[in-house]
């Protein structure tokens, strides 16, 4: 007769889940590459390189000296790829951090207090959702300059509503739980309930959004770069794709140029997806009979 | 009603709570008048939809009344604020129905028990001692073991004892228990009910036990209030209400309870069939659609609680 | 409307002990595969159901009663397996049936009213549509089906206006009656009702039980009523089987089992149910909790909580033996049952 909801806080089982391992491994790999980029990459990403015989090292196929070949301007593709991981992680992590923090805070306040606070916050969220991302980035870049940080800023301003909404929904359901009422009868004030009781139960969901948000941020940055609005001073994977496109790499058959950055982007986004997939069992505990 | 005496700890006058549901007004609680004296255990008996749970929540100020008032120790509960409200929260506590949900699944028993202590400003040095004492009181003597556990590591009966402990740890004057044993296995219920009886005797708490289970109320409560569709239809000493129910609804309720013996009363309950979605209750007696004795006055005039025996009231137009 | 059969005690039914058996379960074993290992939910359960007899299958949560009943219909959870025993139903072995045949007898011969059946009605279909769907399984369609639907509602005491309603427009009691009507639609021989009245208010509960009892008598249907409430089985069941930790520990006619309980668990359960018609005596709990069925104990499963346990009890599991015609108990001390019953009524016996 008794219904038991068991939240299995079982990190050990989590850690053994293949999806989780895959996702974490990808992140760790790229993290290492980014941290040791200078050591791993033989050249600076924008350096124009020459062969021993003095000619421009352009459009070379993969070789021992240039593991992924060179671009049509004579840059080492492998070095670009390695350095690209730095921007990818910086952009991804910082954007994800802001989006999740803002989204979680808004979701908590809107869901818990309801009424006017909820209405006001959700209308702001609606406005943010209504603005298309890429045009906004472009406009912002036009006003503030096309730097990577402006891209992060634009994403932070527009991408938090999704997580806010879902967290708000979760808070709405948690708010009615008996142990929250118990806290109230035990004399706990609003903020104690919010941050001591509700927030810890929201955290897994927030982290879930975090892992997905990293991938989305990278993808968005790549799109912006591809459209040519990226920071010209930093090398990102999106920039590489744009460069390849502009240099007609496809028709020239220079697959070694644009396929690697594409794969890297896919890997990063997938990693986020894998981790979120492994979270499912943790987030939606089964009713034990 | 005659003048309230000083011994009344909780008094409700004209207590009303309305909800809006799809355009219609639902009268969950419709003009309740009752009192609970210090140290008195009162049962609030009613079926689903009777408004009993809402009444419990109103008493603890978990929801504001639409009309009427509740007085706790003479002060109006609905208008309390600041330090008065804080004090109220230490004096009136709630025991929940579902022990598996009443404790935060991510907290240890220690953290859950500490919550009321922290909020009441009990110094850290005293907390351990009070936790030990209250756990002993609820017959969980292995305090060290219990305090370190998470809810999913404990059985329903143990959890409900901790929920009770949490309610008792600040030595309140008044407890509202909403279906405290309905989600527990039968062989465990007896233990919790006995515990409640013991606590009642030891601490002299005033309490209101909300339940649909007549046998529970009879086991623990000295006095019983019977609710039907938001109104109190009977109010009297429990034994009297169980053995000589005066209101037709109570009579049907008592007759309908099965007993664990093969030889028992199987006579049909003389109620008219329930009609779904009956009309507006504002006028007349709420029970008129099902009452076998209903006559014209029942449709026109709401019956007030009238004496029907020693200390026993019933809201019915029929003469007792 | 239905005429209620009142005043008939279950004494008459229990006198029909020589009634031919409709269902005979012997040594049923059902296990679940869980992350923690194999859970032996039902581990050697045996009971009988006679023709036109109502059996109450009683036990607390986790005792295996729902699992045992579900295994009879072949509708078990994905991770559950029947691992042993035999189930003989009208001469056939139910466990040996393939999925096709098992599916064929569902609704037509064995019907299941699941727990909280009133919540398992499809919310997007009107009642009539749901009744017609079940009738179609028995090849009753068109006009004949509509007539039968009305007939079924008459049987359970519902007005025909219910046909046009959606489940959420009906009260809990009415929905439960619809669930009963669905179960009876194709004239099954056996209806298994899982906690049919637990979620209902007392008065509605009484009315639904009266309806079930009356229908059972008139249609000569056998019923297995699964519940944790001894008062309910005392009210309407002809015979009772008590389950504990996956096994049937005692079974027999209601009057005999309740009046002359032979298993300590049954004695303890009776103590835990207050009797409204008698004085408010002390309720006595049974200390401890049921064993973990992932690793069932050797010997009697109740030994750890039993006030009368001997050394032998913890080592050798007592078999379910017939101690009187139709009355079976699994206890090494069933011979001293009369004396133990007296001791069981004293609260001090059950204190640790």
Summarize pLDDT for B16-41 with one digit per residue, the tens. 999 887 777 888 898 899 999 988 99
Cα angle: C113, vertex C118, C119; to 5 degrees: 110
pLDDT at A116 > cutoff 90: yes
- What pLDDT digit, counting tens, does each position of B235-255 carry? 999 999 999 999 999 999 999
Q: How much is the average pLDDT of C261-279?
A: 84
pLDDT confidence of residue B54: 92
CA distance A3 to chain C (A): 10
Work out the average pLDDT over C294-301.
88
- pLDDT at C148 (0 to 100): 92
pLDDT reading at A9 higher than 60: no
Overall domain count for chain C: 1
CB pairs under 8 A between A and B: 68
Q: Is the pLDDT of residue B198 over 50?
A: yes
Assess whether pLDDT exceeds 80 at residue B168: yes
- Domain, as residue range, for C307: 260-350
pLDDT of the residue at A14: 61
pLDDT of residue C264 exceeding 90, the answer is yes
Structure confidence by residue, pLDDT tens digits, B71-106: 998 889 888 888 888 888 889 999 988 888 899 888
Kindly determine whether residue A2 and residue B93, on different chains, have CB atoms separated by under 8 Å: no
Confidence of residue C200 (pLDDT cuts 50, 70, 90): confident
In the block, residue with structure tokens 């399984």? C137
- pLDDT on residue C239: 94
Determine the Cα–Cα distance for residues C266 and C250; give it in Å rounded to an integer: 8
The whole-model pTM stands at 0.79
Cα A187 to Cα B62: distance, rounded to the nearest angstrom: 11
> How many angstroms separate the CA atoms of B163 and B98, rounded?
10
Q: Tell me: the pLDDT tens digits for C105-163?
A: 888 889 888 777 666 788 888 999 989 988 988 888 999 999 999 999 998 888 898 89
* Torsion angle of C-alpha atoms A146, A150, A152, A156, degrees rounded to 10: -140
Task: Give contacts of B266 with chain C, Cβ < 8 Å.
Answer: 6-8, 210, 235
Give the distance, in angstroms, between the CA of residue B119 and the centroid of all CA atoms in the same chain: 25
Residue of A nearest to C229 (CA): A1
Quick one: which H or E segment has residue C103? Answer: helix C99-105
pLDDT of residue B123 exceeding 50, the answer is: yes
Split at pLDDT 50, 70, 90, the class of A278 is confident
Q: What is the pLDDT of residue A70?
A: 83
Round to whole Å and give the CA distance between B318 and C3.
29
> Quick check: is C297 in a domain?
yes
Q: Given A7, A179, A188, which is nearest B103 (Cβ)?
A: A179
Q: Is residue C105 part of a domain?
A: no
Residue C42 lies in a domain: no
User: Cβ C198–A1 below 8 Å, yes or no?
Assistant: yes
Could you tell me which chain C residue has the CA closest to the CA of A2? C61
Assigned token pair, B316: 């019915």
Q: What is the pLDDT of residue C9?
A: 37
Residue C338 CA, chain-centre distance (Å), reads: 27
- What mean pLDDT is predicted for residues B138-167? 88
Residues in chain A within 8 Å Cβ distance of C61: 1-2
What ipTM did this prediction achieve?
Answer: 0.84
- Interchain contact A9–B (C-beta under 8 A): yes
The band of A4, judged by pLDDT with boundaries at 50, 70 and 90, is: very low
pLDDT in tens, A213-255: 888 888 888 888 888 777 777 888 888 888 888 888 888 888 8
Which residue in C164, C276, C279 has the most chain B C-beta atoms within 10 A of its own C-beta, making it the best mutation to test that interface? C276
Domains of chain B, residue spans: 3-243
The whole-number average pLDDT for the span A6-11 is 46
Q: Calculate what percentage of chain A has a pLDDT beyond 70.
A: 91
Chain A contact set for B105 (CB, 8 A): 5, 7, 179
- Of A187 and C221, which is predicted with more confidence? C221
Other beta carbons within 10 Å of B311: 11
Is the Cβ pair A186, B104 closer than 8 Å? no
Residue A211 pLDDT greater than 90, yes or no: no
Q: Does position C271 have pLDDT exceeding 60, yes or no?
A: yes
Determine the pLDDT at residue A280.
66
Instruction: Write the CB contacts of C238 (distance below 8 Å, at least 6 apart in sequence).
Output: C10, C13, C14, C50, C53, C54, C55, C253, C254
B132-144 pLDDT tens trace: 999 988 988 888 8
Alpha carbon distance B306, B314 (integer Å) = 5
Interface of B with A (CB under 8 A): 60, 62, 86, 89-90, 92-94, 96-98, 100-106, 112, 115-116, 119-120, 152, 156, 163, 166, 183-185
- pLDDT of A2 reads 31
Q: Give residue B3's pLDDT.
A: 47
Domain ranges across chain A:
3-32+80-284
Nearest residue to C68 via CA among C101, C120, C32: C32
Query: Which of A185, A282, A287 should we substitute to test contact with B (largest number of B Cβ atoms within 10 Å)?
Result: A185
Contact B185 A2 (CB under 8 A): yes
Which of the two residues, A220 and B13, has the higher pLDDT score? B13
Q: Could you tell me the CATH superfamily of domain A3-32+80-284?
A: MetI-like (1.10.3720.10)
C60 → chain A, closest CA residue? A1
Least confident window among B143-147, C6-10, C196-200: C6-10
CATH tag, B3-243: 3.40.50.300
- pLDDT above 50 for A286: no
Percent of chain B with pLDDT over 90: 35
pLDDT in tens, C210-249: 999 999 999 999 999 999 888 999 999 999 999 999 999 9
Q: Mean pLDDT throughout A164-171?
A: 92
Residue B281 has pLDDT above 70, yes or no: no
Average pLDDT, chain A: 82
Mean pLDDT, chain C, rounded, equals 85
The closest of B254, B247, B224 to B298, measured between CA atoms, is: B247
Q: Indicate the residue of B185, B263, B269 with minimum beta-carbon distance to C60.
A: B185
pLDDT number for residue B71: 92
In a domain, C58, yes or no: no
Tell me, what DSSP letter sits at residue C96?
A: G
Mean residue pLDDT across chain B:
87
State whether the Cα torsion C244-C250-C251-C253 is positive or negative: negative
Instruction: Kindly tell me the burial class for residue C96, based on how many C-beta atoms sit within 10 Å of its own C-beta (0-12, 13-18, 19 or more).
Output: exposed
Asked whether the predicted pLDDT for residue A256 surpasses 90, the reply is no
Question: Which pLDDT belongs to residue B24?
Answer: 79
* Contacts A2 to C, Cβ<8 Å: 61
Percent of chain C, pLDDT > 90? 31
The CA distances from residue B46 to B52, B232, C201, in Å, are 6, 9, 9
pLDDT at residue A183 above 80?
yes
DSSP string, B65-94: -SEEEEEETTEESTT--HHHHHHHHHHEEE
CB contact under 8 A, A2 and B183: yes
With CB atoms and an 8 Å threshold, state whether B96 touches A4.
no
**Neighbour tally for B48: CB within 10 Å:** 14
Does the pLDDT at position C15 exceed 50? Answer: no
Q: Residues of C with CB below 8 A from B155's CB?
A: 289
pLDDT given at position B210: 94
The alpha helices in chain B, defined as continuous H runs, are: 52-59, 82-91, 109-119, 124-137, 143-148, 156-168, 186-203, 214-220, 238-243, 248-256, 296-300
Across A193-199, average pLDDT: 88
């Amino acid at each position: 007769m008794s219904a038991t909801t068991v939240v299995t806080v079982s990190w050990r089982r989590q850690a053994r889940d293949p999806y989780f391992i895959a996702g974490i491994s990808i992140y760790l790999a790229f993290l290492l590459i980014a941290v040791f980029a200078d050591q791993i990459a033989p050249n600076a990403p924008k350096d124009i390189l020459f062969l021993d015989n003095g000619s421009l090292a352009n459009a070379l196929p993969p070789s021992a000296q240039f593991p992924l070949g060179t671009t049509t301007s004579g840059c080492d593709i492998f070095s670009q790829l390695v350095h690209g991981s730095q921007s990818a992680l910086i952009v991804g992590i910082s954007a994800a951090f802001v989006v999740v923090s803002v989204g979680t805070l808004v979701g908590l306040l809107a869901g818990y207090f309801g009424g006017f606070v909820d209405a006001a916050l959700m209308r702001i969220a609606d406005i943010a959702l209504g603005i298309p991302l890429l045009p906004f980035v472009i406009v912002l870049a036009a006003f503030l300059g096309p730097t990577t940080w402006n891209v992060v800023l634009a994403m932070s301003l527009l991408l938090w509503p999704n997580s806010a909404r879902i967290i708000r929904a979760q808070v709405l359901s948690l708010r009615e739980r008996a142990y929250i009422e118990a806290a109230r009868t035990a004399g706990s004030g609003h903020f104690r309930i919010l941050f001591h009781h509700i927030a810890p139960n929201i955290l897994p969901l927030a982290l879930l959004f975090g892992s997905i948000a990293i991938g989305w941020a990278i993808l968005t940055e790549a799109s912006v770069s591809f459209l040519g609005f990226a920071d010209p001073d930093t090398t990102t994977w999106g920039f590489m794709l744009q460069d390849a496109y502009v240099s007609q790499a496809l028709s020239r058959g220079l697959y070694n140029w644009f396929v690697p950055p594409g794969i890297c982007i896919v890997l990063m986004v997938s990693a986020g997806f894998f981790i979120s997939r492994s979270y499912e069992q943790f987030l939606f505990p089964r009713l034990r009979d | 009603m005659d003048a309230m005496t000083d011994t009344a700890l909780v008094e409700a006058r004209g207590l009303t709570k309305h909800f809006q549901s799809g355009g219609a007004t639902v009268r969950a609680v419709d003009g309740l008048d009752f009192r609970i004296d210090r140290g008195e255990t009162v049962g609030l008996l009613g079926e689903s939809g009777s408004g009993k749970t809402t009444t419990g929540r109103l008493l603890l100020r978990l929801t504001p009344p639409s009309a009427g008032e509740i007085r706790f120790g003479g002060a109006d509960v609905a208008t309390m604020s600041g330090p008065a409200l804080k004090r109220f929260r230490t004096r009136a506590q709630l025991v929940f129905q579902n022990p598996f949900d009443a404790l935060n699944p991510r907290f240890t028993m220690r953290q859950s028990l500490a919550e009321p202590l922290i909020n009441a400003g009990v110094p850290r040095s005293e907390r351990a001692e009070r936790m030990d004492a209250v756990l002993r009181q609820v017959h969980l003597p292995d305090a060290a073991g219990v305090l370190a556990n998470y809810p999913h590591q404990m059985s329903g009966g143990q959890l409900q004892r901790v929920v009770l402990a949490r309610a008792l740890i600040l030595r309140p004057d008044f407890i509202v228990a909403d279906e405290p044993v309905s989600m527990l296995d039968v062989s465990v219920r007896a233990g919790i009910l006995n515990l409640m009886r013991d606590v009642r005797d030891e601490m002299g708490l005033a309490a209101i036990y909300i339940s649909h289970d007549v046998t529970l109320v009879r086991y623990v409560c000295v006095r019983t209030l019977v609710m039907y569709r938001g109104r109190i239809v009977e109010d009297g000493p429990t034994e009297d209400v169980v053995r000589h129910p005066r209101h037709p609804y109570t009579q049907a309720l008592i007759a309908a309870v099965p007993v664990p013996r093969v030889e028992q009363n199987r006579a049909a309950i003389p109620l008219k069939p329930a009609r779904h979605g009956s009309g507006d209750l504002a006028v007349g007696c709420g029970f008129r659609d099902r009452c076998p004795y209903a006559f014209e006055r029942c449709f026109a005039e709401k019956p007030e609680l009238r004496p029907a025996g020693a200390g026993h009231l019933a809201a019915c137009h029929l003469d007792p | 409307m239905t005429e209620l059969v009142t005043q008939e005690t279950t004494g008459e039914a229990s006198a029909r002990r020589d009634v031919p058996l409709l269902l005979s379960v012997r040594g049923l074993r059902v296990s679940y595969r869980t992350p923690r290992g194999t859970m032996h939910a039902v581990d050697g359960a045996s009971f009988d159901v006679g023709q036109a007899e109502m059996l109450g299958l009683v036990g607390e949560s986790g005792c295996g009663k729902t699992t045992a009943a579900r295994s009879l219909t072949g509708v078990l959870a994905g991770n559950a397996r029947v691992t042993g025993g035999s189930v003989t139903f009208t001469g056939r072995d139910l466990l040996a049936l393939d999925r096709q045949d098992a599916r064929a007898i569902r609704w037509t011969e064995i019907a299941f009213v699941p727990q909280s059946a009133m919540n398992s009605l499809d919310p997007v279909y009107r009642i009539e549509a749901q009744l017609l769907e079940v009738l179609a399984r028995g090849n009753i369609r068109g006009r004949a089906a509509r007539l039968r639907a009305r007939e079924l509602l008459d049987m359970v005491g519902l007005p025909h206006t219910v046909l046009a309603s959606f489940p959420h427009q009906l009260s809990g009691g009415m929905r439960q009656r619809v669930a009963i009507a669905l179960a009876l639609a194709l004239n099954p021989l056996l209806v298994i009702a899982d906690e049919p009245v637990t979620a209902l208010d007392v008065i509605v509960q009484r009315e639904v039980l009266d309806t079930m009892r009356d229908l059972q008598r008139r249609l000569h249907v056998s019923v297995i009523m699964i519940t944790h409430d001894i008062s309910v089985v005392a009210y309407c069941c002809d015979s009772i089987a008590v389950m504990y930790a996956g096994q049937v520990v005692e079974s027999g006619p209601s009057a005999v089992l309740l009046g002359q309980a032979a298993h300590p668990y049954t004695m303890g359960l009776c103590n835990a149910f207050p009797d409204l018609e008698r004085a408010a005596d002390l309720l006595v709990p049974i200390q401890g909790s049921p064993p973990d069925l992932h690793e069932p104990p050797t010997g009697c499963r109740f030994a750890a909580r039993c006030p009368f346990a001997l050394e032998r009890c913890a080592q050798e599991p007592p078999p379910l033996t017939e101690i009187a015609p139709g009355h079976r108990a699994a206890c090494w001390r069933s011979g001293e049952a009369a004396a133990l019953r007296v001791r069981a009524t004293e609260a001090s016996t059950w204190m640790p």
